[in-house]
Amino acid sequence: MDTPSRSSALFAEACRLIPGGVNSPVRAFRGVGGEPFFVDRARGAHIWDVDGKQYVDFVGTWGPAILGHAPQVVRDAIARTAERGVSFGIPNPLEVEMARTIVDWVPSVQKVRMVSSGTEATMSSIRLARGFTGRDKIVKFEGCYHGHVDSLLVKAGSGALTHGSPDSAGVPAALAALTLTVPFNDMDALRAVFAAHPREIAAVIVEPVPANAGLYLPRPGFHELLRALCTENGTVLIFDEVMTGFRLAKGGYQEVCGITPDLTALGKVIGGGLPVGAFGGRADIMSWLSPEGPVYQAGTLSGNPLALAAGLAQLREMERLDGWRQLEEIGAAFEAGVRRALKASGKDYNFRRIGSMFCLYFTSAEVHDLASAQSSDKASFARFFHACRERGVYFAPSQFEAGFLSLAHTEVDLGEVEKITSEALLGL
């Protein structure tokens, strides 16, 4: 009888102790079948599982590892800061430094508050927008995932989509009824929802580049219309840049597209791999937050010194290296390799990339919203995923997740991935 791998043994134990054996559903491999492996260590563009197998990693902690895993500058910053204390619950200078950096870099942000996760950032942004406007209704887009907030788990993406239901049990119907959903990129539907609810909508929240139903891009004029309708109706426009913030550009996607939201939710990169989130925007809106205003929001670990030290070190290194230019070059080289692999395999699949984020849809149809993303052949993706994993390349275990590149991905890594991708595609 074969001895089970260490990962299998750990997963069996985890299933006994943790619901589904994982602490976040997307890790469970339900979208691809099989069992997840357990990671022992990570460095640069590579991870090693507890059984010693090495992978080229394109998950990157789901986005934060923009320099690669465990970069020296981040580890040094954490170590120096830990010598002085790991948590205070009292203001510390790093909070001011991070706030100054965000306000200086992100075009729309005049004031910002730190939290401990992207979910807290979007949740707090919604509460703030409702308090500021005195309205209850909000609009979100189908397939956009904004964390596990009750109001936002309506036609959501990410793990909610992977696991077969874009909604969640436990969300009161009365609360869900206040969330109006619109297909992304559908300008007529966007006009219609404002026409049906004139001056009743507190906020529109959007991933400006949706990255939780794979990855698809906004059509020309979409965000311009969204901004105009929000302004006309006194509605707060919230950009959820937890994924795109500090990854697609120094100032996030809003710097790229030239649209100024009223509030912005941030996370991922600004924590250097540690738990973090932030939300900020117009000073007149942010002044409604307690203790300055009547909208309550709090968190014991908000502004945690380790997370902020790690994030600041990472941001400074990106700036020093002109990292966004380098990431575009790495992304272009990666895309060229994927397209060569697709051509060699004779597969007419739909590849999407912006900067260092990407997704390969297993469909020849144009993908521009949730409905077209769901035309992807999930069974083919699952076979592709396992074929790549067996050969030492790790993509996200779901068709409906974006992949992430880092400055640590080398020409050698990309060449190996092109070869393995070609083999996996030919085997479908």
> Measuring CA to CA, how many Å separate 317 from each of 4, 243, 269, 313, 412?
42, 19, 12, 6, 23
CA distance 24 to 30: 12
CA distance 63 to 300: 25
Which of 140, 253, 268, 361 is labelled catalytic?
268
Which of 111, 140, 145, 394 is labelled catalytic?
145
CA distance 263 to 109: 7
Clarify whether 262 is annotated catalytic. no
Task: Provide the token pair at 146.
Answer: 């904004």
Clarify whether 53 is annotated catalytic. no
What is the secondary structure of 135-166 as a DSSP string? --EEEEETT----S-GGG-SS--THHHHTT-S
> Measuring CA to CA, how many Å separate 34 from each of 31, 40, 157, 428?
9, 19, 22, 18
Clarify whether 145 is annotated catalytic. yes
Judge whether 157 and 183 are in contact, CB under 8 Å: no
Calculate ∠ Cα 387-391-394, nearest 5°: 80
Which of 57, 186, 240, 262 is labelled catalytic?
240
Kindly give the residue spans of alpha helices, DSSP state H, lying in 141-293: 159-162, 173-176, 187-196, 222-233, 253-257, 283-286
Tell me the Cα Rg of the chain: 21
Strand partners, 291: none
Active-site residue set:
145, 240, 268
